[in-house]
Amino acid sequence: MGHSRRPAGGEKKSRGFGRSKAAADVGDGRQAGKPQVKKAVFESTKKKEIGVSDLTLLSKISNEAINENLKLRFEHDEIYTYIGHVLVSVNPFRDLGIYTDRVLESYRGKNRLEVPPHVFAVAESAYYNMKSYKDNQCVIISGESGAGKTEAAKRIMQYIASVSGGSDSSIQQTKDMVLATNPLLESFGNAKTLRNNNSSRFGKYLELEFNTNGEPVGANITNYLLEKSRVVGQITNERNFHIFYQFTKAAPQKYRDMFGIQQPQSYLYTSRSKCYDVPGVDDAAEFRDTINAMGVIGMAEAEQDEVFRMLAAILWIGNIQFAEDDSGNAAITDQSVVDFVAYLLEVDAAQVNKALTIRLMETARGGRRGSVYEVPLNTVQALAVRDALSKAIYFNLFDWIVGRVNSSLTARGSVANSIGILDIYGFEIFEKNSFEQLCINYVNEKLQQIFIQLTLKAEQDEYAREQIQWTPIKYFDNKVVCSLIEDKRPPGVFAALNDACATAHADSGAADNTFVGRLNFLGQNPNFESRQGQFIVKHYAGDVSYAVEGMTDKNKDQLLKDLLNLAGSSSNQFVHTLFPNQVNQDDKRRPPTASDKIKASANDLVATLMKAQPSYIRTIKPNDNKAPREYNQGNVLHQIKYLGLQENVRIRRAGFAYRQTFDKFVERFYLLSPKTSYAGDYTWTGDEESGARQILKDTSIPAEEYQMGITKVFVKTPETLFALETMRDRYWHNMAIRIQRAWRNYLRYRIECAIRIQRFWRRMTGGLEFIKLRDQGHQVLQGKKERRRMSLLGSRRFLGDYVGVGNKGGPGEMIRNGAGINGSENILFSCRGEVLISKFGRSSKPAPRIFVLTNRHVYIVAQTLVNNQLQIASERTIPIGAIKSVSTSNLKDDWFSLVVGGQEPDPLMNCVFKTEFFTHLTNALRGQLNLKIADHIEYNKKPGKLATVKVVKDPGASNVDSYKSSTIHTSAGEPPSSVSKPTPRPKQVAARPVTKGKLLRPGGPGGGPSKLASRPVPARQPLPQSTPQPAAVQPPPAPRPAVSPAAQPRPVPQPVAAVAAAQHTRNASTSSARAPPPPPPATPPAQKKPMAKVLYDFNSDQTNELSIRAGELVQIVSKEGNGWWLCMNTATSVQGWTPEAYLEEQVAASPKPAPPPPPPAAPRASPVPATNGAAAAVAAKAKAKPAPPAPPAKRPNMAGRKVAPAPPAAPRDSAVSMNSHDSSGGSGRGTPNSASNASLAGGLAEALKARQHAMQGHHDEDDEW
């Protein structure tokens, strides 16, 4: 068999080939001395097995059980499964990422049992056995069309090319040529079918040849059964061979001019099926790969030209059409097509006409014996002759390409061994089966025959070698089916077919009838049935019915002498190469038939395979739709039956489901016996066999469940193996859980402590003052200057001293000392920036500086290198009282100037934290900062000489501002009215007591009672069958004496937004009893939109005002404090401003929320609904008015305002404003008299005070410690 004979875990000397000679072999195969057992390790990355990875481990052997296991694995993206050493592959119809270089390396040098099932494991096994034991290997891949045979063959070639080594350039060239055969032969031999978008329409046996070092030196390809009938016709939604579409779509201009190539729609042979494209396939890219493969193979450009000339000739031959003349004979309709075909074949056009429309007949009997007559053909016969010529050219062209590839792959050195890869048609059963299916199924019968023989023989040999007692099983030997088809005496199907072809019949139908008569002699065979116009052969895969019609014609497989004479008259040497045999006009012998050829090829193939050690890959197609993740159990069950998987499992399970060498068995399971292991170490001093016996004894495995061979342990049932694996997993679980428990306790303790420290620190340094400062900065530039996006982030804080000048030690202190900043000055702001430096005769350029703002001065600090020593000095010190104004632009640039006047020029500065600088400077000047914002920047470039710098918005500018020639280029920024986004708020997590882990003592620090004992505990749902905690771990229950309100548990402080939104506090129950949780509250009703009733008619000619009629209901969109409301007519959805006095707001009573179930202590007070008395008073007052009031004199202004933006959802913690002059609130509709934010600011202030008061209560004692 082709399974690896390397011990599992194989020695990794160089690549891992060769066996260790350290231990001397004893005569019976055992090794002397103590076994070298590797220490067992816990497989932390072990992947949980889906189903069983080896079908021999199934508890029940049946086709249905096999199907269920394959389906389960397929649904979890496990497409490979073993049957012993046979690999079963299910096509996933998608890329699973399992053929990468990383995956390939994981199988390199590994035994089959060490890694999951994979096609790479089969390739590794074949390569290892060839190199180590000098045996020729072969991989037989079988399955129906679309099951993935070609893909498996390519992956085997990929693996062998990767691991076979060899740094010689000729060896690498051989590898490249072998891999290049795939795209080349796929283009000429593959086509789109209904079942498969890349179906191989020929069989291929690729034999890779290696030298003694295991390096590839050559290869040879044998092709079988090319489906040449596809050249001239395909069914709907199938295509011709790929090369025709690649050529017609992507042919270079040279070929289009020479051969008249057009699009595939222009040719009959490529347009008959109305299918021109394959989903996901780029024919132009595939054509480039084909051309590249031809170059790698070594095909010269002249040879490529001749190949494409023949393809063009086939396409144009298909466009020759016939019509009946007056005599009913065939006549060519378009002579120009014939002339072009004659040009391509380099023959005379008149000869083409004659060959296609006239047949030469020679009399064989009578007085005029030997006379030759010209017989005109009718249109049907002429079309058949035309198609026969096309098929003959393509068939011979394909054979020539294979021969050309073989000549390039001729071995470049001595050949020691080989690995063959057989990729051939799978078994085919269609609604109508003909001669092609008979030949394909015959070859599959031959392959199944050697599979059964070699599989059964390998099992018998192993049992005999290991001296194991077993009972032979019965199996179906398909040799009788092979004899039924191929035997001459008694005559089989092929012999009867040849006899019918040898009978002289002018009519093919008569020959078919003769064939039917010959088949009657096979009626006594139990595997054969004859029916009207059909016959049935009982194959191993099932009964197949073959149609007799047309079989004799297909079996003759001969070209008319007229067409051979036409090819012989060509002046093109390549045509003579394709048709090398000269026509012998006097030869009367019957040429070999197609059945003779396929029979000879099949026998040669079997002879070749029998000389090698085979490996098997059985491919399965999960569905006919080529859809990923679809598994059709009926289709797969049918394939399981005709692939004979159940019989394969039964043969493999002839007595024992699992076998392993003694050393690997001991290495795997020595942990299960106290006599062979201690604390994970191997302690057995005997040999491997005695160690294996001891393990089986200590695990209480019955004696009838296993046998001991010479070198292996044989386990009878899969359940026994599963029990051993379960015990091994349980051992590791029990050992590892102790370490995990201790480690988790430590991690829990450490993480909990860190969290509490962090929580305490965040509460003490919440950063609210930074948020206030940032919001003040918005007011400094609000509506005047465009903003940068990064300035509006919710996490932005005005931290001030970015350089750390105010810190003690470090580079900040060096800058402070170097700049001579007095220690009494308070550092308000510091950062790095740039100052525009003017030099005589040169253009001004920015230079880096450090800006420091104190409560007295602005320092511009320069850092220079003098004699490789860093010197820090204040370049300029400006008292803040001397600053007359600050000039900046209204765009988003970071440039500004400090207008000072005096004897020195004003500094023009670039600082990314400009807004923060302006804010701190405003505070230092007690609000007296004169900030000038315009479309330019003013500064005194020289004393008394005012200069301006233009600031322009450049769409092509980057995020970094650029200065050139007194102009600053910047990009577009955020609108001037932008405000900061809400601060990202972390999830509130209530503190929990640390009550677990042996590193902790019960209660609080020092063994005292925990302060958390009195904290209200939320009710939890009890877990089923929960285990009570040990008494040593449980904290002592806290007493419940009567306490004063001041000593009651404090609630956890909530964020400001949460406090502002919630107007009531939620008191948790202090009951220690764990009551079941209350049911979830009902879904709250949708919030109703505010409505108002119209009291008086209001007509307006203004476009921004809404005309209303008394008695109507309108929706209130927004209220302004200047006497105008923005309303919307619900019928027309038109919005506009309406006088407030003309409306009466309809206040609906809020629905009473359903209270949760009350706790046992006391019932919960129901919330009191809001009263609408104020609204009633307003309505009564409005009704009392005798006439409609006059609208407010100041009309609303809609310019520049959004029509209906959503109001802010809730106040946020990051944007708390303590300034009463912020009246707009960012609503976008504020009028000069708006005071809508007064109540909001007051509510937030009250919420902030409540939160601060709650936090201050924690200063005396910490709730965590």
Residue type, 438: L
Known binding residues for ATP: 143-150
Q: What is the pLDDT of residue 841?
A: 66
Query: Locate tokens 């393990």: which residue?
Result: 695
Which residue matches tokens 């399992």?
Answer: 98
Contacts of 425 (CB under 8 A, 6+ apart): 145, 200, 203, 225, 440, 443, 444
Beta bridge partners of 616: 140
Task: Kindly name the residue from 200, 270, 555, 593 that is annotated as catalytic.
Answer: 200
| Strand duo 885-889 + 869-879: pairing | unpaired
| Count of alpha carbons within 13 angstroms of residue 260, beta-carbon side | 17
* pTM (2 d.p.): 0.55
| CATH entry 3.30.70.1590 includes domain 659-737 | yes
Regarding beta strands 137-142 and 613-620, do their DSSP bridges make them parallel or antiparallel, or are they unpaired?
A: parallel
Residue 988 CA to residue 1010 CA, distance in Å, equals 22
Q: Let me know: does 874 contact 861? Beta carbons within 8 Å.
A: yes
Question: Is-catalytic flag, 426?
Answer: yes
Catalytic residue among 69, 199, 357, 593: 199
- Measured N-to-C along each axis, helices 242-250 and 283-297 cross at an angle, to the nearest 10 degrees, of 100
Question: Measuring CA to CA, which residue among 527, 521, 525, 518 is closest to residue 551?
Answer: 518
146 is catalytic: yes
Active-site residue, from 81, 145, 1129, 1224: 145
**What integer pLDDT is reported at residue 1066 of this predicted model?**
40
Residue among 341, 332, 350, 339 nearest 390 (CA): 341
DSSP code for 960: S
Give, as one character, the DSSP assignment of residue 1027: P
Q: Where in the chain is the domain with CATH 2.30.29.30?
A: 769-970
Q: What would be the CATH architecture of the domain defined by 769-970?
A: Roll (2.30)
> How much is the pLDDT for 359?
83
Q: Extract the residue ranges of the chain whose pLDDT is less than 70.
A: 1-35, 41-47, 166-167, 362-371, 473-475, 504-507, 557-558, 582-590, 654-655, 763-766, 841, 986-1087, 1148-1187, 1193-1265
Enumerate the CATH 3.30.70.1590 domain ranges in the chain, comma separated.
659-737
- From the list 51, 146, 1003, 1230, the catalytic residue is 146
Query: Among positive and negative, which fits the CA dihedral 696, 697, 700, 705?
Result: positive
State the pLDDT at residue 1013.
44
**For 743-791, how does the pLDDT look when each residue is reduced to its tens digit (9 = 90+)?**
888 888 888 888 888 877 876 666 777 878 888 888 888 788 888 888 8
Reading across the β-sheet that carries 908-910, which strands appear in turn?
Answer: 869-879, 857-866, 845-854, 827-837, 908-910, 895-899, 885-889, 931-934
In this structure, how many other beta carbons lie within 10 angstroms of the beta carbon of residue 1030?
7
Residue 70 has a pLDDT of 96
Backbone dihedral angles phi then psi of residue 433, each to the nearest 5 degrees: -110, 135
Q: What is the pLDDT of residue 780?
A: 84
Whether 199 is catalytic: yes
Given the residues 4, 56, 81, 150, the one annotated as active site: 150
Tokens 């937004």 locate to: 1057
Expressed in percent and rounded to 5, the helix, strand and coil fractions of the chain are 35, 15, 45
Q: Using CA of residue 640, residue 644, residue 648, residue 653, what is the dihedral sign?
A: positive
Residue 200 annotated in active site: yes
